[in-house]
Chain A
């Protein structure tokens, strides 16, 4: 142990108090995010053609037989709200994990083509193979991981792997989107309508039996990512610094990639690729809790709030009902353009 440098109690207290202030700020921000998510969930359960009171909604949740509400809330609104919550968490964690690991806000699975891989597989499964829910989820997952591996292998080697990975990912994503377009052109008219709505990212008609795979993914993988969060924060400083801090860089990265890709794929297979939630959640969460601390849990809550709020807007804010992905797309596109402009001004290095 090295001999200490002399410090005064006042100096120690000053540093500790500043840290406690930052932590308090973070706790408050997290509580606010959680509260907003709960309020939005409540709103989704109460609002609709018929508005039910909180008491009626709670009654349904507790399993009581509430006339009218039991069907509307229990069969229609609860699955919708749950899938919004879980997909938001999954996309938020997946996106912020990739962004932090690759040290670039553009490096989100929905920007670099991974969710496109999952989408292409889901469309193939739904309208060409005619497969059901479980098989579709599995195929999406396999395709998403395969896409990630292809992008990684194509981008590896040399310096600036991050920047190259993003460009290759955008290219691969465009290719896979073309595959989706081709499949839609070849499909029956009825299937196209279903597939198109799914592609836009829609919570309409979500049924309870679609939700368990996503629940399992979130319950297993989110804690894994949170547990790796400290190592992830060391990785942010560069591979050399992370190694020096005792992180097993390759192992940590492989685990994080698998967990994040799986989360994005499960969510995509359940709700469709809700545009830009993965991409937006991390940066918004970082703004809310302040930079420097782990962004995983804040991004999970931010993702949930984004999906819930966008779905409420899509359902009730306009004369026409819009799928949730249309609303998040309108929110996300300007931010993507802003980042692309900023990146190209910096010379594209990352």
Chain B
């Protein structure tokens, strides 16, 4: 496997306008593993990811890549180590899959230098790894949501970064495509050793696919660890204000959160 780059945050504070949304977070992101950031709406999980990926400057504290502050690293150099798949990337009208994936090569290319064999190799590998080689010449506009998400992941792969951040990569997908995308990311993590950090809405998907969970509430980190160690009814109450029963998922042997609402609860009221 490869020499891992290590990313972490130190007393990170970030926000928009007057509001502080991330309020002093220390994350030690395990290298070569899948980490998932979970929390209720507006808990700061997307803002945290944006700050780690330098879309949003830190108010105070730092994001450190191998001990260096990310704002001190030249942008292109950083882009060869740290990739981000935003929540809603935009595909130019009419662009074909292979070309969009090829744009992931941007940080590897110099001004006026033409396309190299290495670029072709990276694009082909990214297409193969995401299972979309046969879609290479299709227009992105014509694809289904699940296929399109594969194309974006392929673009991020063509960037060949050691660390890949994803902001809710399954949000607009139905359950089978959610599983498909998360399986794909788990494959990549296993095959390439890519460090994956993502924000997920669904606590059960998070508990199933994460090696490591970070639970946020009100801009602070309140729990961190393997899902099996930290996901309990108490934690779910603390993070989501939700009464629940946590059992072991018979399929994956990971924690499964069963919410208790006001209705349809056997033996209640």
Contact = CB atoms under 8 A, between A and B. Distances in A.
B94 A15 contact: no
B267 interface: no
A152 B129 CA distance: 42
Given A2-B192, A15-B120, A241 B96 contact: no
B148 interface: no
B86 A4 contact: no
A233 B192 CA distance: 28
Contacts of A230: 106, 109, 111
Contacts of B191: 3, 5
B120 A16 contact: yes
Interface string A237-262: 11111011111100000000000000
A237 B92 contact: yes
A227 B1 CA distance: 37
Interface string B184-219: 000000011110000000000000000000000000
Interface residues of A, number: 37
Contacts of B179: none
A232 B198 CA distance: 27
A22 interface: yes
Interface in B107-145: 107, 109, 111-112, 115, 117, 120-121, 123-129, 133, 136-137, 139
B86 A238 contact: yes
B55 interface: yes
Interface of B: 1-2, 50, 53-55, 75-80, 82-86, 88-96, 98-100, 102-104, 106-107, 109, 111-112, 115, 117, 120-121, 123-129, 133, 136-137, 139, 156, 159-162, 191-194
Interface of A: 1-7, 11-12, 14-16, 18-19, 22, 103, 227, 230, 233-234, 236-241, 243-248, 286, 290-293
29 contacts: A2-B161, A2-B194, A3-B1, A11-B128, A11-B133, A18-B98, A19-B98, A103-B92, A230-B106, A230-B111, A233-B103, A233-B106, A236-B90, A237-B91, A237-B103, A240-B89, A241-B84, A241-B90, A244-B85, A245-B106, A245-B159, A246-B75, A246-B77, A246-B78, A246-B106, A290-B94, A291-B92, A291-B94, A291-B95
